[in-house]
Amino acid sequence: MINNSFYEIEQLPELLQEEENLKLYSFDLDEENKIFSFVKTISTHDELESSWLDLTQVIGTEFICEQSSDFSRWNTYLVFISKEKISQDVRSEIENNKIFVRKIISDDGNFNIHVVEKLNVILLGFDIDTSRKKDVDDSLILSNISEKIISSRYSKFNKDDKANFISLIINENKHEN
């Protein structure tokens, strides 16, 4: 992982440079795979209702189509920060529309203050407390294979490494029994 947080990209793509109150943030897993979040600040409910679809289409055709990574194309978000409350009907229409990007609306007044922190929480789950241990359930017993997978940092493997690792564990388990 290159960065451990979202950061602002200073230069917007060319066709989006004229868009007022729009910023682009990125979280880089590696050189090729990134999570992008466009953040658009709007003043009114009506402004959001009349402009969200056009902005979505420009981002989809001019930005997402240029991404070489499938991961990056599937992990691009459009966040609208509204100074006014947005009606549930408009919110549902926009957030349930999955064309090109997933959309999030924030109208609670706190988002704009710490955009990077909010993106880290909403999109990356930085608010999840991994230091707390769950009570151990005595009825839960993991197999040897499950324990090896959990203890091996399995999530950091690529697809081939995962297949080889699981084959190795299964073969070891066969020899133990």
Looking at per-residue confidence, does 154 or 92 come out higher?
92
The most confident of 87-91, 120-124, 132-136, by mean pLDDT? 87-91
pLDDT at 2 over 60: no
**Which residue, among 36, 2, 34, has the nearest Cα to 22 in the 3D structure?**
36
Q: Please, what are the domains in the chain?
A: 7-124 (3.40.1350), 144-176 (no CATH)
Edge-to-edge strand ranges of the sheet holding 34-42: 7-9, 22-28, 34-42, 76-82, 102-106
Q: Is 25 helix (H, G, I), strand (E, B) or coil?
A: strand
Does the predicted TM-score (pTM) go above 0.75? no
Beta bridge partners of 38: 24, 78
Residues in Cβ contact with 47 at an 8 Å cutoff, skipping those fewer than 6 apart: none
What are the angstrom distances between the C-alpha of 151 and each of 123, 148, 171?
26, 5, 18
C-alpha span between 25 and 167 (Å, rounded): 39
Kindly indicate the confidence band of residue 103, based on its pLDDT and cuts at 50, 70 and 90: very high
User: What pLDDT is attached to residue 32?
Assistant: 87
Residue range 135-146: average pLDDT?
61
